[in-house]
Amino acid sequence: MENKIVNTGSAKLTIGEDSYDLPIYSGSMGAPAVDVRALHKLSGHFTFDPGYTSTCSTESQITFIDGGKGQLLHRGYSIEDLAENCDFMEVAYLMMNGELPNKEQFAEFDEKITSHTMLHEQVERFFHGFRRDAHPMAMICGTTGALSAFYHDETDIAENEARDLAMMRLIAKMPTICARAYKYSIGQPHVYPDNSLNYAENFLKMCFGVPAETYEVNPVIAKTMNKIFILHADHEQNASTSTVRLAGSSGANPYACIAAGIACLWGPSHGGANEACLNMLQEIGSVDRIPEFIARAKDKQDPFRLMGFGHRVYKNFDPRSRVMQKASHELLDELGISNPILDVAKELERIALEDEYFIAKKLYPNVDFYSGIVLSALGFPTSMFTVLFALARTVGWISQWNEMLEDPSQRIGRPRQLYTGAPARSLVPMDKR
């Protein structure tokens, strides 16, 4: 990756009686950043930023977010345009290569992906080592990491050809792994990939098809699944992406890096948010109980929180949720589903878009709110929600990981700390304590 940040001035930092000039860098969009890399060398001080919420950890050319405007761009294209007009494999190509493919490039890329959808039969045996009630995220985390034992020739990340092959394998095999975890969790035989189908259709068949019957993919469901994948493909330097980059900065193999990202995504504050949202809807149970929970959400003394509303980055409407809102309504109309939980979700959505409390605090329904509804309507249990997130996000993780390796300024991650433990002291022998 060619570094494109531009030095646009300097900032003067004064500590006591000493002042230091620190460079200011700007990108093509977004806020500029003060370069503090030399701060400790110059002054003996570190910056303190728990959660790195005000720290740029890297330069990237893949995804841009403007939380104030509610804007999400992948390589300059809006998420709305991509979700409405592209196949998920087009978006994968875009993220990995920087431009959307033409017909020939798309056909070649798609063929490369579909040629690697099968799992090694020895990988299949791993699933039988898990308890039947194991969480699907535990299964895909372990199985993804184990791929490095099968493709150890591709763990030499200095070789471009091996690196490219590893990226293709991960994108191709993740739907197969995720579908296998689902089938194992419900006690059904696994369904092999069907390379005559596109990415979303193939995944749906592997999840909901059975060997004894012919499975016909509903085009509306496949279209919705495709949008879900695109909407979750990447989201800048979030916790799991930063984890993948941090693991990769040490030179770890790509399968281990993606497994690390999956482990991070599993957290309820990250990828588990849509599962937590549906659990909340189930707790509310019926439309007549909504006022009770709205009142609790507004009560500062009550620990209850409405899940699926607001976002740490977006201070406006999450652009992904607009797409998902439309897709959820289309899907529910197509399937003709009548479900009290979905009725609760629709009423909560209406209230959030009209209630002054929600509007003033900008607590708009986010993508987790709608994706939980959609995935539930498709028939997935809540335990699979984060699995689907991981499947889609693998494209972003791989793109970010590869970009990091090609960045000449990248170094192994090594955050600092403010130590507040015991000062240096002498050890007292046990018989004198």
What's the pLDDT score for residue 265? 95
Give the pLDDT confidence score for residue 155 in this predicted structure. Answer: 64
Other Cβ atoms less than 10 A from the Cβ of 131: the count is 9
Q: What is the pLDDT of residue 77?
A: 98
Q: What is d(CA 221, CA 227) in angstroms, rounded to the nearest whole number?
A: 10
Name the class of domain 87-410. mainly alpha
- Please list the residue range(s) of the chain that carry CATH number 2.20.28.60: 6-56
CA atoms within 13 A on the CB side of 378: 31
Closest CA to 368 of 227, 232, 179, 223: 232
Residue ranges of alpha helices (H) inside 232-310 are 239-249, 254-265, 273-284, 290-298
Q: Distance (Å, rounded) from C-alpha 176 to C-alpha 315? A: 36
Catalytic residue list contains 368: yes
Q: What is the DSSP string of 91-112?
A: HHHHHHHSS---HHHHHHHHHH
Where are the domain boundaries for CATH 1.10.580.10 in the chain?
A: 87-410
At residue 300, φ and ψ (nearest 5 deg) are -65, -20
Listing from the earlier edge strand, what are the strands of the sheet with 18-26? 6-15, 18-26, 33-34
Q: Which fold has domain 6-56?
A: Rubrerythrin, domain 2 (2.20.28)
pLDDT of residue 269: 77
The stretches in the chain having pLDDT less than 50 are none
Kindly name the residue from 87, 311, 318, 407 that is annotated as catalytic: 311
Buried/exposed 287-299: b ≥16 CB within 10 Å, e otherwise: eeebeebbeeeee
Task: From the candidates 110, 234, 318, 368, give the one annotated as an active-site residue.
Answer: 368
| DSSP-assigned beta bridge partners for residue 20 | 13
Residue 311 appears among annotated catalytic residues: yes
Measured in whole angstroms, how far is the alpha carbon of residue 14 from the centre of its chain? 39
